[in-house]
Structure 1
Amino acid sequence: MKNVRVARRYAMALMAATEQQKNIDGTAKDLVLIAKILQDSRDLRLLVASPVISPAKKRAVFNELLATRVGKETLRFINLLISKSREAILYDLIEQYKELHDEKLGIVNVSVRMVVELNYAQEKDLRAQLERITGKKVRLQTLIDKTIKGGLVIRIADTVLDASVSHQLDRMRELLVAGQAA
Structure 2
Amino acid sequence: MLNIQLARKYSRAIFEIAQEEDKLVEYGKELSEVRQGLESVPQAMAFLSNPQVDQKVKKGFLKKIFEGKISKDMYHFLMLLVDKRRFMLLGTIDDQYHAYANEARGILIADVTTAIPAGKKQQKAIAEKLEQVTGKKVELRLHENKALIGGVVVKIGDRRIDGSVAGRLETLKNELLANK
**Counterpart in 2 of 1:144?**
144
Task: Give the partner amino acid of 1:83.
Answer: D
- Structure 1 residues 52 and 108 mapped into 2: Cα distance closer, same or farther (>3 Å)? same
Deviation for aligned residue 1:117: 4.1
| CA–CA separation in structure 2 for the residues paired with 1:142 and 1:25 | 21
Alignment partner, residue 36 of structure 1: 36
**Which whole-Å deviations, capped at 9, do the CAs of 1:82-110 have from their partners, x for residues lacking one?**
11111110111011112222222222221
Identity of aligned residues (%): 26
CA RMSD of aligned residues (A): 2.1
Query: Which residue of structure 1 aligns with residue 108 of structure 2?
Result: 108
Moved more, 97-106 or 111-120: 111-120
Change (3 A) 1:36 1:126: same
Asked if residue 172 in structure 1 is aligned to residue 144 in structure 2, the reply is: no
The 1-side partners of 2:56 and 2:164 are apart by 53
Q: Tell me the CA shift for residue 44 of structure 1.
A: 1.2
- Relative distance call for 1:65 and 1:107 in structure 2 (3 A) is same
The match for 1:71 is 71
Structure-2-length-normalised TM-score: 0.87
Whether the 8 Å CA contact 1:11–1:93 is kept in 2: the answer is yes
CA distance in 1, matches of 2:82, 2:42: 18
Could you tell me how far 1:119 is from its partner in structure 2?
A: 4.2
Matched, 1:163 2:163: yes
Output the CA distance in 1 between the equivalents of 2:3 and 2:116.
37
Q: What's the CA shift for 1:81?
A: 1.4
What 5-or-longer segments of structure 2 have no aligned partner?
A: none
Gaps of 5+ in 1: none
